[in-house]
Amino acid sequence: MKIVACNSNPPLARAVAQELRLPLCKVSVRRFADAEVFVEIQENVRGEDVFVMQSTCSPTNDNLMELLIMLDALRRGSARRVTAVMPYFGYARQDRKSGPRTPISAKLVANLLVEAGANRILTMDLHAMQIQGFFDIPVDNLYAAPLFKRDINARHPNEDLMIVSPDVGGVVRARQLAQRLNTDLAIIDKRRERAGVSEVMNVIGDVSGRYCILVDDIVDSGGSLCNAAEALIGRGAAGVEAYVTHGVLTGSAVERIRNSPLNMLTLTDSIPATDALNEAANIRQISTANLLARAMSAVADESSVSSLFD
């Protein structure tokens, strides 16, 4: 078993390698003068079970190209099996035709990964579950809910909690966490005029006097999350926090969240923290290294991955 780290999230790759007590495979990933990606694997991988760690976060296209070229290099190096470990799967929000003459980019990326040489995909909290069906190879989709449950129990042992889905599409995800915590569920009814812009229309559920925890898979501009927090406070919530798996946080998102009613936004480290994120008093990250390491061990040992969430 070998672990290969590309350049998107070196701290997470090092943490996973430490959990597995394995060294990272010696590789060189660099750019030519015209920004072409060049990969060189500097040790033997013939017959090995190789795990390539790469989140396709910003710069998304560069990180995706790095991953594809690394997969090709490993295939040509005669690795026995190559698993693409993608804590954050970019292009997942383009999972269907949103209008006439628009692409299904998530399917295109799936095709590229398989064609480049991936034998298996290991990812976390896919934006749309049906993306697993875009692949003709096994896909293991991990869940951050157990991490969130432990963290919430540790930080709020005596609060009267209510889990809140920021939109109708996230109800299943929020309900699963609510069931784990044995608490109630509320839903934000919102209208999205265009990408990145939303308006809260209604709050379904009585949040008065409850400490509300918003749960989502991706926070991008932060507008929906901040609007939801304001709506909950306006309807009498005792306080509002948010737990989100992937902190994309584009543009002025960090500043928007810093000035919002959110007491805290908790993210995983599927996407590396920026300097602005580290400086924000109400944004923090929790580690996914142990979860990823256990899943990778299960794949290598041919044991159950789903048992990690029982």
Instruction: Round to whole Å and give the CA distance between 215 and 187.
Output: 10
58 is annotated as contributing to ligand binding: no
Any known ligand binding at 223? yes
The reply to whether 125 sits in an annotated binding site is: no
Told to judge if 190 belongs to the known catalytic residues of this protein, a careful annotator would answer yes
> What CA–CA distance (Å, rounded) separates 62 from 55?
11
Q: For residue 209, say whether it is annotated as part of any ligand binding site.
A: no
Tell me the C-alpha distance between 221 and 168, whole Å: 19
Answer yes or no: is 76 a known binding residue: no
Half-sphere exposure of 206 (CA within 13 A, CB side): 3
Q: Do the annotations mark residue 205 as ligand-binding?
A: no
| Burial zone of 103 (CB within 10 Å; 0-12 exposed, 13-18 middle, 19+ buried) | exposed
User: Annotated binding residue at 14?
Assistant: no
**Nearest residue to 148 (alpha-carbon basis) of 228, 214, 92, 220:** 214
Q: Exactly one of 26, 97, 107, 190 is catalytic; which is it?
A: 190
Rg (CA), the chain: 20
167 is in an annotated binding site: yes
SS3 assignment for 80-120: CEEEEEECCCCCCCCCCCCCCCCCCHHHHHHHHHHHHCCCE
Which among 123, 89, 84 is positioned nearest to 106, based on CA atoms?
Answer: 89
Distance CA 19, CA 231 (A): 41
The 3-state DSSP composition of the chain as helix, strand, coil percent (nearest 5) reads 35, 30, 35
175 is in an annotated binding site: no
132 assigned to a ligand binding site: no
303 carries a ligand binding annotation: no
Q: Is 34 annotated as a binding residue?
A: yes
Buried-state track 21-33, b at ≥16 Cβ within 10 A, e below 16 = eeebbebebeeee
> Binding site membership for ATP: which residues?
34-36, 93-94
**Looking at the annotation, which residues are catalytic?**
190
Residue ranges of the binding site? 34-36, 93-94, 127, 167, 192, 216, 220-224
Binding residues for Mg(2+): 127, 167
Q: Detail the residues annotated as belonging to a binding site for D-ribose 5-phosphate.
A: 192, 216, 220-224
